[in-house]
Structure 1
Amino acid sequence: MSQPRPVVAGATYLLTRRALRRHLLFRPDAAMTQLIVYALAVSAKRYGIRVHALCAMSTHLHIVVTDVDGVLPRFLQFFHRLVALGTKAIRAWEGPVWGHEATSAVRLITRAALVEKISYTLANPVGAGLVRRAREWPGAKVLVGELGRGVLRAKRPDVYFDPSNPAWPEDAAIALTLPPSVAEDDADVFRREVGAELGRQEAEARAAMHRKGHRFLGPDRVCMISPDDRAASFEPSRGFNPTFAVGRGHADVRRIASAAVRAFRTAYREALERWRAGLRGAVFPAETWWMRVFHGATVGDAVLVL
């Protein structure tokens, strides 16, 4: 059984989900890029999700969002379903699209965490040895200069989405916003910080490729690989799925956040034991989602302090 996780209204997350067995189902051709951007725009608008950054890799998706209303599970369910059904139609794919691991949702607590994880999202194609610079990636992505002022826009794909259904507009768009902790008058400074960190991560990735004697695949060849293939590089199984990130140099914040998560899990388990014993008046911690939404459980007023 997975650990209970708080769903916090207004929190910013790095979201990651992988394709089944690392198949290259999301190869960055035009049809797949259109599908991912359209599905994200429709889903984010439906659930009030603010989108900050995106990079759609061939085997997985990275998105940085803020969950304004505390409905992240609903958004993920809806968005991942649209991507899966659209992918099955585009690729003529039988069976599951997504891997069996749960979506990774890492709460970004500090500015340092925002800078590092947004940069990590943008730099992913470089770190994977696919392109030399993030801006060369041919798939769905956000550039540093678009943070807080760009727009993701796509026409309705020709597959799966019924043109007669008003839920699927002909054009879908979502404005890229700054994380709520970044003020508008601080936007340029924030973009420079992300740009500097992105440059550092790109340089590290290029140096690692040079040491190994490897060459970058390049944007043209990336789009020529069969989506039925699987990534061949070694990747260990994910043994640890973090709940939050604080960035480098914030050990004090990490200790506080760890204590808060432990307190949430302890309170949740104690309430769940009472619930299973038939005590329907058991009070769950405020950030409880599943028990509140699907079972009508009572939650407390106190919020998770991070």
Structure 2
Amino acid sequence: MSQPREIAAGATYLITRRVLRRHLLFRPDAAITQLLLYSLAVSTRRFGIEVHALCAMSTHLHLIVTDTMGVLPRFLQFFHRIVALGTKVLRTWEGPVWDHEATSVVRLLTRAAVVEKIAYVLANPVAAGLVRHAREWPGAKVDVDELGCGVLRALRPAAYLDPKNPQWPEEVALTLALPPAIEQDGGDGFRREVAAELERHEAQARAEVERQGMRVLGAERARNVSPYERATSFEALRGRNPTFAVGREQGDAWRIAAAAVRAFRASYRAALERWRGGVRGAVFPSGTWWMRTFHGASVTDVVFTV
């Protein structure tokens, strides 16, 4: 049984989902980029999700978003389904598109965590040895100067989506928002912080590529690889899937956040035991999603501080 997860309105997350067995189904050509941007814009508008950053790699997708309404599972289900079905049509692909592992959802609790994870997301193509600078990546992405102010636009893909259905408009626009942890300070300083962190990531990645004697693939070749091939680069076994991040040098922030997570889980399990014992008046902790949504369980207003 997986650990219960708190779903809190206003929380900011790093979300990662991988393609099945590292197939290159998200090769950054125009058709897949259009599908990803359109699907994201429609899905976020439907569920009140704010997008801060994204980078679609050939084998996985990174998003940094804020869930303003506390409905993240609904958004992920809807968005991932559209992307999967559209990809199956575009690639004439039979079988699953997404990896069988659960989506990685990491809550970003501090400004430092937001800055570091956005830079990490944008630097992904450089770290993979595909381009020398993040801005050169041809896939769906956000550039540093677009953070909190850019607008991503896409026409409705011809594949899969019914043009007669009003939920699929002909054109959509997705305005990039500043994360809540940044809004009060304005965007200029935030963009400078991300740019500096991104430059650090890029320099480390280029040094590692040179150390290994590798050649950078380049944007043009990345666009033209077969989407049916699989990535062959070494990938370490995936370790723990973190629940939250606080960033570097944040004092006691990690300890405090970990204590809040433990308290939430303990309270959830206690309520679940009562529920299983037939006590339908059991009260679950604030942020409980599944039991509240699908079983109508009562949820307290008391929030565990993180």
| Distance (whole Å) between structure 1 residues aligned to residue 127 and residue 238 of structure 2 | 18
Cα deviation digits, residues 37-73 of structure 1 (max 9, x gap): 0000000000000000010000000000000000000
Cα deviation digits, residues 192-246 of structure 1 (max 9, x gap): 0000000000000000011111111000110111111111112233231111100
Q: Which amino acid aligns with 2:71?
A: V
Q: Which amino acid aligns with 1:27?
A: R
- Cα deviation for residue 184 of structure 1 reads 5.8
Question: Is 1:280 matched up with 2:288?
Answer: no
| Distance (whole Å) between structure 1 residues aligned to residue 4 and residue 142 of structure 2 | 31
Q: Which residue in 2 is equivalent to 1:300?
A: 300
Question: Is 1:215 matched up with 2:215?
Answer: yes
Matched position secondary structure for 1:181? helix
| Distance (whole Å) between structure 2 residues aligned to residue 304 and residue 25 of structure 1 | 40
Q: Which residue in 1 is equivalent to 2:227?
A: 227
Question: Is 1:110 matched up with 2:110?
Answer: yes
Q: Which amino acid aligns with 1:85?
A: L
Question: Is 1:32 matched up with 2:32?
Answer: yes
Tell me the percent identity.
70
| Distance (whole Å) between structure 2 residues aligned to residue 185 and residue 103 of structure 1 | 31
| Cα RMSD (Å) | 0.9
Moved over 6 A (4+): none
Matched position secondary structure for 1:64? strand
- The question of whether the paired residues in 2 share the 8 Å contact of 1:287 and 1:304 is answered with no
Q: Gapped runs of 5+ residues in structure 1?
A: none
- The question of whether the paired residues in 2 share the 8 Å contact of 1:8 and 1:287 is answered with yes
Q: Which residue in 2 is equivalent to 1:23?
A: 23
| Distance (whole Å) between structure 2 residues aligned to residue 272 and residue 94 of structure 1 | 39
Q: Gapped runs of 5+ residues in structure 2?
A: none
Higher mean C-alpha deviation, range 232-241 or range 157-166: 232-241
| Distance (whole Å) between structure 2 residues aligned to residue 39 and residue 243 of structure 1 | 26
- The question of whether the paired residues in 2 share the 8 Å contact of 1:27 and 1:223 is answered with yes
Q: Which amino acid aligns with 1:174?
A: L
Q: Which amino acid aligns with 2:53?
A: A
Q: Which amino acid aligns with 2:138?
A: P
Q: Which residue in 2 is equivalent to 1:101?
A: 101
Cα deviation digits, residues 160-207 of structure 1 (max 9, x gap): 110000000000111001001212653100000000000000000000
